[in-house]
Amino acid sequence: MSIVVHHLENSRSQRILWLLEELGLPYEVKRYARDPKTMLAPPSLKAIHPLGKSPVIDDGGCVVAETGAIVEYLVEKEGGRLGPGADRAAVLRYRHFLHYAEGSLMPPLLVLLVLQRMGPLGWPARKPLQKMLNVHLDWLESELASRSWFAGDTFTAADILMSFPLEAAQQRGGLDASRPKLMEWLARIHARPAYGRALERGGPYSFARSAG
């Protein structure tokens, strides 16, 4: 039985499609369009989960929401594939980045994207927020100075979770060639065949419109 992914266009749920492609699990995509004026998810998603948010998966009647929880569910379902290695330090790094992506990195970036959409009205608050985001980006650059991937020397689901905020930072948050380790990491994840297949399954994708 295929896993059903309730996938909102231009959203963080793209990462779930990518993870499923990496794991080789069969899945079905049910796409939802954003409201063209508000950019919010349609009311029909509330029929799947009361919060009306994406991503949500349905695995044979088991409905799971929240990106991090879905990733943990799928990695566990596949016996730990793309999870951390046995090394304790790698386990802790994996766990940290799995939750850091949404818990610490995404909030200032999300506010920055909203302020940018406000035009001149958002300018006064943008400079201090960008400064805050730069602290995150500088630290992440230093983290990749001694290893290839965020959790260790091999690609894991933690890298999948980190993809959305760093892709958004590249588009709208000041991430550029001044941080070569992060840019090289982005180039490597974009070159993965499973990443490309997920984009084909998920449909057109615009980071500039994907604040939520």
- Look up tokens 């995150």; give the residue: 136
- Note the pLDDT of residue 59: 97
pLDDT tens track for 59-70: 999 999 999 999
DSSP classification of residue 145: T
Q: What angle do CA 168, 160, 156 make, to 5 degrees?
A: 150
- Note the pLDDT of residue 33: 82
Q: Which pair of tokens denotes residue 125?
A: 């608050």
pLDDT tens track for 112-146: 888 888 888 888 888 899 999 999 999 999 999 99
Q: Are 3 and 58 in contact (CB under 8 A)?
A: yes
- Note the pLDDT of residue 180: 98
Counting other chains too, the contacts that 92-99 makes at CB distance below 8 Å and 24 or more residues apart are 93/150, 93/151, 93/152, 93/158, 94/150, 94/151, 94/152, 94/156, 94/157, 94/158, 97/150, 97/151, 97/158, 97/159, 97/161, 97/162, 98/68, 98/71, 98/72, 98/157, 98/158, 98/161, 99/68
- Note the pLDDT of residue 210: 44
- Note the pLDDT of residue 207: 54
- Look up tokens 């994406």; give the residue: 54
Task: Please give the Cα distance from 75 to 19 (Å, whole number).
Answer: 9
Q: Which ranges of the chain have pLDDT less than 70?
A: 205-212
